[in-house]
């Protein structure tokens, strides 16, 4: 049976798309699935750099017709296989996004899960991975612009018949108005991932800082996606990944916390 293709997308750069792809990919690998993560951010590729990987061949060379898919497969932490990208403008100019279709077809016949990490914006190079996916996970931070751009990405996906599973809200604090953001998104909120000072900067967090709240959030998100990809669950059966303890500041005065939460309508307003 062909593997599941999951595209990780979002309208704005720097919201945690690559972090989400890497951590979900590594957690799926831990669960026994064979996973490959593809850096399809053709303009700002950063997957290899994030994982500290030196590579000989990139996705850009495949898309330029200068290399085979097998030549770019690279071992990464957490047992992952990745296909990294290049950061040079010359490589970007030579890469043909249309050839990504054949790359993904090849990979889905060899892996249980193909995670596609996309770039930001509404360009053709973003639209192609959206159209190739069995399911699309959108990633945003609470930033107003990021949320608005995520909605636009969902609209783009809809226009090309892409299937948006839902959104991951990243870098959330206890003062974030999650309910308001969910209303703006208008589709399933898959996970609320804390802005986690306990997590290492080294990816994947589920491997390097497994006890951190952010790693726990990504692992629980992966449990849900595993059920969706392979367990016959529907999106409507998935509960939003969230734990109150991720957002409680143990050093703060409890009365102050209650007052701030009531005034802000923060994360607790959505789930209690």
Other Cβ atoms less than 10 A from the Cβ of 205: the count is 28
- Report the 10 Å Cβ neighbour count for 86: 22
DSSP three-state, residue 166: strand
**Spatial distance between the Cα atoms of 48 and 65, rounded to a whole number of angstroms:** 21
Instruction: State the DSSP string of 30-52.
Output: HTT--EEEEEE-SSS--HHHHTT
Sheet hosting strand 81-83, strand order edge to edge: 74-75, 81-83, 35-40, 113-118, 4-9, 135-140, 164-172, 189-194
Contact 77, 23 (CB under 8 A): no
pLDDT at 159 over 80: yes
pLDDT at residue 56 is higher than 90: no
Report the DSSP beta bridge partners of residue 7.
116, 136
Closest CA relative to residue 32, chosen from 137, 133, 111: 111
**Burial readout 111-131 (b: 16 or more C-beta within 10 A, e: otherwise):** bbbbbbbbbbbeeebbbbbbb
- Return mean pLDDT, the chain: 88
* pLDDT at position 271 over 80: no
- pLDDT number for residue 257: 47
Predicted local distance difference test score (pLDDT) of residue 192: 97
Q: What CATH number belongs to 4-271?
A: 3.40.50.300
* Confidence bin at 255 (pLDDT 50/70/90): very low
Mean pLDDT of 125-147: 94
Q: Alpha helix (H) ranges present in the chain?
A: 17-30, 47-50, 59-63, 69-72, 89-94, 100-108, 124-132, 144-159, 178-185, 205-208, 213-230, 254-264, 267-271
How confident is the model over 31-44, as a mean pLDDT? 93
For residues 162 and 131, the answer to whether their CB atoms sit within 8 Å is yes
Q: How far apart are CA 154 and CA 163, in angstroms?
A: 9
Residue 125 in this model has a pLDDT that exceeds 90: no
What pLDDT was estimated at residue 254?
44
Task: Give me the residue spans of the domains in the chain.
Answer: 4-271
Both tokens of residue 204?
């994947």
- Residue 52's CB is within 10 A of a number of other CB atoms, namely 10
- State the Cα–Cα distance between residues 272 and 270, nearest whole angstrom: 6
- Whether residue 230 is predicted with pLDDT greater than 70 in this model: the reply is yes
The predicted-structure confidence for 75-109, as pLDDT tens digits, reads as follows: 999 899 999 988 777 677 788 888 999 999 999 99
Confidence of residue 251 (pLDDT cuts 50, 70, 90): very low
pLDDT tens digits, one per residue of 188-205: 999 999 999 888 778 899
Average pLDDT of span 139-149: 95
The label of the residue with tokens 């726990």 reads 216
Nearest CA-CA partner of 17 in 156, 160, 121, 159: 121
**Rounded mean pLDDT of 221-234?**
95
Give 169-184 pLDDT, tens digit per residue: 999 999 999 999 999 9
pTM summary value: 0.90
Region of residue 72 (left: phi > 0; alpha: psi -120 to 50; beta: else): alpha
Would you mind telling me the total number of residues written for the chain in this entry?
Answer: 272
Q: Name the 3-class secondary structure at 129.
A: helix
Please report the pLDDT score of residue 252 as a whole number. Answer: 42
pLDDT of 1: 65
Rounded to whole angstroms, how far apart are CA atoms 151 and 189?
Answer: 12
Residue 246 pLDDT more than 60? yes
Mean pLDDT of 234-260: 72
């Amino acid at each position: 049976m062909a593997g599941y293709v999951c595209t990780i997308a979002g309208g704005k750069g720097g919201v945690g798309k690559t972090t989400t792809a890497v951590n979900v990919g590594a957690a799926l690998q831990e669960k026994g699935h064979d996973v490959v993560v593809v850096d399809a951010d053709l303009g700002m590729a950063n997957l290899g750099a994030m994982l500290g990987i030196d590579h000989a061949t990139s996705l850009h060379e495949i898309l330029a017709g200068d290399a085979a898919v097998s030549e770019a497969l690279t071992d990464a932490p957490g047992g992952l296989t990745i296909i990294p990208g290049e950061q040079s403008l010359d490589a970007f100019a030579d890469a043909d996004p249309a050839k990504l279709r054949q790359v993904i077809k090849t990979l889905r016949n060899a892996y249980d899960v193909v995670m596609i990490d996309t770039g930001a914006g509404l360009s053709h190079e973003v639209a192609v991975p959206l159209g190739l996916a069995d399911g699309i996970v959108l990633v945003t931070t609470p930033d107003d612009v990021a949320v608005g751009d995520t909605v636009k990405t969902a609209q783009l996906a809809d226009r090309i018949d892409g299937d948006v599973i839902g959104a991951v809200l990243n870098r959330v604090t206890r003062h974030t108005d999650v309910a308001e953001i969910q209303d703006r998104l208008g589709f399933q909120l898959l996970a609320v991932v804390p802005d986690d000072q306990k997590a290492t900067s080294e990816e994947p967090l589920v491997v390097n800082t497994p006890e951190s709240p952010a790693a726990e959030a990504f692992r629980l998100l992966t449990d849900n996606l595993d059920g969706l990809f392979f367990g016959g669950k529907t999106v409507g059966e998935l509960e939003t990944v969230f734990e109150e303890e991720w957002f409680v500041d143990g050093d703060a005065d409890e009365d102050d916390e209650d007052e701030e939460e009531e005034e802000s309508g923060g994360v607790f307003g959505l789930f209690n």
